[in-house]
Copies of this chain bind each other. A is one copy, B any other.
Amino acid sequence: MNRRPHRRDPEGHRQAILDAARTSFGERGFARATVREIAARAGVTHGLVLRQFGSKEQLFLAAVPGHRELDQVIAGDPETLPDRVAHAYVARMEANAAVDPLVVLLRSIASDQQAAAKLYSAMEAGSIRAYREVIDGPDAAARVAMLGAQLIGVTVNRYIARTGPLAEMPAPALAEHLARVLRHILFDRAG
């Protein structure tokens, strides 16, 4: 992925920056990777990265898998939303937990709590915005935040600690369980 795009090629730049960001975040973690280093790796200026992506948090969210697909997962029948979210989450994590934004976030807590907080805030704000398209009611934001908390907790259990019932059950069983829990959290009623 070492292409050095021509300066008049904005889409090439964008791709080069995203490739560089994935490499840097993967190698050095969220807290230690810098926009400057990502820009250098992509062969563009620091200023161009910030103009295109706004901040390190936004660049991270644009570069990592999962977050970009959230809008697509959410679009559709609200009735089956918990199933779509649970299955998309499990599929994404089973495929590549190591570079997943939730895992990167959790790993960054110990090294730089402030960076982790900013990243969490950006992820959560994006999620709440996306869910609010289909979930309403006075405590919709709190319910979406509780859903996010459940996914964080399952991530710690199955993909980081890798121990106990949630780590041992087959992926389809986890998706079923999780869909039921997320249905309760989002709609506050039995599955």
Chain A positions within 8 Å of B, measured between CB atoms, are 29, 106-111, 113, 116-117, 120-121, 124-125, 128, 139, 141-142, 144-146, 148-154, 156-157, 160-166, 169, 177-178, 180-181, 184-185, 188-191
Contact = CB atoms under 8 A, between A and B. Distances in A.
A81 to B, nearest CB: 16
A152 B156 contact: yes
B161 A142 contact: no
A191 B191 contact: no
Majority DSSP secondary structure for residues of A touching B? helix
13 contacts: A106-B106, A108-B110, A110-B111, A116-B160, A117-B160, A124-B164, A139-B177, A144-B165, A151-B153, A152-B156, A152-B157, A153-B156, A190-B190
Which interface residue of A165, A178, A185, A190 has the most chain B CB atoms within 10 A?
A165
A157 to B, nearest CB: 5
B121 A161 contact: yes
A166 B151 contact: no
B148 A153 contact: yes
A142 B146 CA distance: 18
A6 to B, nearest CB: 39
A182 to B, nearest CB: 10
Given A146-B154, A150-B150, A188-B191, 9 more contacts: A141-B165, A148-B157, A149-B153, A149-B154, A149-B157, A150-B153, A152-B157, A184-B185, A190-B190
